[in-house]
Amino acid sequence: MIGKRKLHEVCWINVVTTELDKAEKFFGQLLGWTYADGVLGGHSIQVGGLPAGALMDQAVCPPEVPVSIGIMIKVANAEETVAQVIALGGRAEPVFDVMENGCLANCTDPNGGVFAVWQPLSKDGAECDTQAPSAPTWFETLTTDLDVAVEFYTKLFGWTGVAQDSIPGMHYTVFEQGGVPVAGAMRLMPDKVGTIRPHWATYFAVTDVDATASKAQALGGALCMGPHDIPRVGRFTLLQSPQGVSFHAIKFVDG
């Protein structure tokens, strides 16, 4: 998909990192990102010459923001969405204006997964092709209580939750909007609870997962998982930048 994201789709990512210059070089060499001005304390990530998100210095963020990749979901009214988040058992910080660009609120689902909602004014969000190599292409919440997460997000955004059975023993739900997959939810395995906090994960499209994993390690990053095949879906791996930013690389079967 190229152009404006629809309501209730992930419309932007914020990659928060230490050692900004080194992080820009790592992702530039690994994924081919280029950068543009216009982001406080960092740069806009460019994919195919179009904005895909932001790479930001952790030093300009609130102290509680970890090295991570945060997602923003497009909404029509941030204040109303915040009220819904709270009514559904989540938490939300007050809505604030980001200059003339739009209105933002940081939210937390009932299981502890953090996300932001974005009401655009002059800045809609990402414009790159979501299937282009190096673009953020898939998003999923890894959570402790899958039923609670599915109920929360389907009621909040009007998504439909479709349970999957690609891998026996793995509990996974695809969120659809108008019959189109927009995000996913997966239950954290019991042996991971306590070491991995509930969070939203981001996948980047690549043409060769194994080559990407090898190159990430050669550039000083770490291989955390995989590469693995997901039947009827594709091949993926979990990586970590030298600065500690965790992210996935994926090649879909039909991609």
Structure tokens at 248: 């996935």
180 C-beta neighbours (distance < 10 Å), count: 10
Cβ-contact 222, 190 below 8 angstroms: no
Higher pLDDT, 168 or 92: 92
pLDDT category, 164, cuts 50, 70, 90?
A: confident
Q: What fold characterizes domain 10-120? A: 2,3-Dihydroxybiphenyl 1,2-Dioxygenase; domain 1 (3.10.180)
Say whether pLDDT at 193 is over 60: no
pLDDT tens sequence across 10-52: 999 999 999 999 999 999 999 999 999 988 899 999 999 999 9
* Domain 10-120 shares a fold with domain 136-252: yes
Q: How do the domains of the chain map onto residue ranges?
A: 10-120, 136-252
115-145: b (≥16 Cβ within 10 Å) or e: bbbbbbeeebbbbbbbebbbbbbbbbbbbbb
DSSP bridge pairs for 117: 73, 105
- Compute the distance between CA of residue 52 and CA of residue 89 in angstroms, rounded to an integer: 31
**Which range is least confidently modeled, 90-99, 139-148, 161-170, 246-255?**
161-170
pTM: 0.95
- Please say whether the beta carbons of 158 and 33 come within 8 A: no
Give the CA distances from residue 112 to residues 41, 59, 173, in Å, rounded to whole numbers and listed in that order: 27, 23, 18
Task: Give residue 194's pLDDT band: very low, low, confident or very high (50, 70, 90).
Answer: low
Closest C-alpha among 226, 115, 106 to residue 175: 115
- Predicted confidence band at 191 (pLDDT cuts at 50, 70, 90)? low
pLDDT digits (tens, 9 = 90+) for 205-217: 999 999 999 999 9
Peptide bond preceding 227 in cis form (omega within 30 of 0)? yes
Q: Please tell me the predicted confidence (pLDDT) of residue 66.
A: 93
Query: Which H or E run includes 18?
Result: none
Burial code of 86-99, b = ≥16 C-beta within 10 A, e = fewer?
eeeebebeebeeee
CA–CA dist 153, 47 (Å, integer): 28
Give the rounded percent of residues in the chain with a pLDDT score beyond 70: 95
83 backbone dihedrals φ, ψ, rounded to 5°: -60, -40
The residue type of 23 is: A
The band of 63, judged by pLDDT with boundaries at 50, 70 and 90, is confident
Determine what percent of the chain is predicted with pLDDT higher than 90: 85
Which is nearest to 85 in space by CA: 56, 64, 115, 60? 115
What are the structure tokens assigned to 197, written together? 């906090």
| Confidence label for 165 from pLDDT (cuts 50, 70 and 90) | confident
pLDDT value, residue 13: 98
Q: Which helix (H) or strand (E) holds 36?
A: strand 34-39
Into which CATH architecture does domain 136-252 fall? Answer: Roll (3.10)
